[in-house]
Every structure is written in C-alpha cells, then in structure tokens.
Amino acid sequence: MYQTTIKKPVELVGIGLHKGSPVKLRLEPLESNSGIVFHRSDIGVSIPLVPENVVDTKMATVIGKDGYVISTIEHLLSAVYAYGIDNLRVIVDADEVPVMDGSSASYCMLLDEAEVVELDVPKKVMLIKKDVEIRDGDKYVKLSPSPDLKYDFTIKFPHPVIKEQAFVLHFTKENYKNEIAKARTFGFLHEVQYLRSKGLALGGSLENAIVLDEKKILNPEGLRYDDEFVRHKILDAIGDMSLIGMNFVGNYEAFAGSHDLNHKLTLELLKDAQNYEVVELVGEKTKELEKAYA
C-alpha cells in the first residue's frame, strides 16, 4: 500500500464561521513524505500540520506560525484522514477554513472530485502499542492497542434533546461517509449570543450548525441522525487525531472529549516512542487497511 495524494487541484468558496466572510479554499497534490501543509495565500505563510503548531483548542483546533493562524481545520482534516490522504496542500485566503454546512460532507464531495491517487513510496501507519489516556475530572480520551480502528464516544449534556448519547464507529471510509460525515456541529443559543458580542461566530447560522435553546432544536429541518450530536464529536475527534501525522491503528475511546483533550492526547502519545510503532505497509500487512480506505 502506497502513500496517497489527490489527482488534481480542486477548490470551493464558503463562509468562515467566526468572521462571516467568504473564504476560498484550494486543495493541491503534494509529493511523497510531504505530509499535510496549510498555506495562507493572503499573507504567504505555510503552516505544516504538526502538534507543535497547534496554538488554540478552546472552540476549534487552530494552528499557527509566527503569529499567523488558521482556525477550524478539524472538519476538513476529518475527511482527509478518512480518505487516507497522506500528502496535501491546503490553501486558504483567510485565517479560517470554510465551515460549509457544519459537517464534513462537502469536503468528502470535494475529495471525490479530486480523486485519491497512489504515489511511489510505501504508506506509513502508527500502531498503538500501549494505553495512552488523558483525564480531566470525569472526562477522558484514550488510545489503546487493537488490530483495527474504532472510535467509541459518549457524551452527556443536561439538555432534554441531547441527554446521554453513545456511538461506536468501526472505521472504514464507507462507514465514515455513511455514519459520520453528515453530522453537523452544534451549539446553544446563549453561547452564540455571547460569542457574537465578542465579535466571533459571525458566520454561524442554522445553515451551518444545529442550534438549541433551553428546550429544543431551532433548526426547522430537525436532525440528520437521532444521535447527530455524538456522531459529530467523532467527526471532530478524527480530525483532531490527524495531527499525529499519519493514520493509526488502535482504538480511540472518549467520554465528553474535546479538542483540548484530543490535542493533549496526541502530545502524550508522541512524547514516548514506546507508546507506538511506525510501520511501512508492504506485503501482507496492507490487506485489511486497503479494505478500510477502498
């Protein structure tokens, strides 16, 4: 199994969540061993996707370099990771990635248009060798060894629509597209009002998020899945864990996980080489993973 990129450049324009302004996004192929590289075309700054470039995780995963940032990268990265793409240049002309409809479905369609192609260097994956866990009170995120990849997430909110929800994704590209990609981000009306008072979330609307007041969902079309909230948390987690720098094989488990806990988990994993093993996928090793990304 070989490293991948996209066959041709593709682009789209969407609204940025925080500034509410149009953002142009363009994806371009990169050669083997390049990784995922973000580029701000408005200022000419490139920011490689590595954990040490994460500068904020309060409301989204934000990367930065020399004081310049790109925000809300996790939905795009979730789709890129699900498609098994190793090398890609992501160009935006602003400081955030377009929010689209609040899910990763638009990015899946964009990647389908771009077409994933193999390069000439074997693909590397990370095998999780030991349990790695980050806790904050009763909240936790955890990686553990497993012969396959599974995301097991539970959330609990004191809201009559959400309550407690749990979902397990047995990872394949098709399962991701069918079960996760269409799940939208969500927020509460009082939070949106507060953020707007601070000049944030200016692009947020019922077109790109599920919004709830104290008792109900405000979106007239309702939910795409009965448990859309926890499914979106898995979507976010997949994007956040892409900061590892390659696809991994192991189980991810979380209770009330967040961008911040996911970032701390990637750092904890990478700081001790005994936690993992990086292998090149050659020969018999490739068969199961090839099925996952078919």
pLDDT confidence bin for 285, thresholds 50/70/90: low
How many distinct structural domains can be found in the chain? Answer: 1
Which contiguous run of DSSP H or E holds residue 259? helix 259-270
CA dihedral 41, 102, 108, 1 (to 10 degrees): 80
Measuring CA to CA, which residue among 150, 117, 147 is closest to residue 254? Answer: 150
pLDDT classification of 294: cutoffs 50, 70, 90 = low
Report the amino acid identity of residue 90: V
Q: First CA to last CA across the chain, in angstroms?
A: 11
Please give the average per-residue pLDDT across 160-172, as a whole number.
96
Its pTM stands at: 0.94
Which pLDDT tens digit goes with each residue over 69-85? 999 999 999 999 999 99
User: To the nearest 10°, the Cα dihedral for 29, 31, 36, 37?
Assistant: -80
Is 184 or 148 the better-scoring residue by pLDDT? 184
| Active site amino acids | 259
What's the pLDDT score for residue 202? 75
Read off the pLDDT of each residue in 143-160 and give the average, rounded to a whole number: 95
Taking the CA atoms of 7, 13, 15 and 18 in sequence, report the sign of the dihedral they define: positive
86 contacts 3 by C-beta, under 8 angstroms: yes
CA dist 198 and 167 (Å) reads 34
Report the alpha-carbon distance of residue 134 to residue 266 in Å, rounded.
Answer: 10
The tokens describing 110, both together, are 């964009």
Residue 80 lies in domain: 2-292
Q: Look at residue 266 in the predicted model and tell me its pLDDT.
A: 96
What is the model's pLDDT at position 61? 93
pLDDT of residue 199: 72
Nearest in space to 258 (alpha carbons), one of 132, 153, 127 = 153
Average pLDDT score, the chain:
93
User: How many degrees, rounded to 5, is the angle at CA 223 between CA 108 and CA 56?
Assistant: 60
Question: 269 by DSSP, 3-state: which?
Answer: helix
CATH number, domain with residue 196: 3.30.1700.10
Percent of the chain surpassing pLDDT 70: 97
pLDDT, tens only, 254-278 = 999 999 999 999 999 999 999 999 9
Query: What distances in angstroms separate CA 99 from CA 15, 71, 74, 107, one per listed residue?
Result: 6, 10, 10, 10
- Report the amino acid identity of residue 119: L
Q: Name 210's Cβ contacts closer than 8 Å, sequence gap at least 6.
A: 102, 184, 185, 186, 187, 217, 219, 223, 228, 229
**What's the pLDDT at 191?**
80
Mean pLDDT in residue range 25-37: 97
Q: Which amino acid is at 86?
A: D
What span, in angstroms and rounded, lies between the C-alpha atoms of 171 and 177?
10
The confidence band for 18, taking pLDDT boundaries of 50, 70 and 90, is confident
Q: pLDDT value at position 68?
A: 95
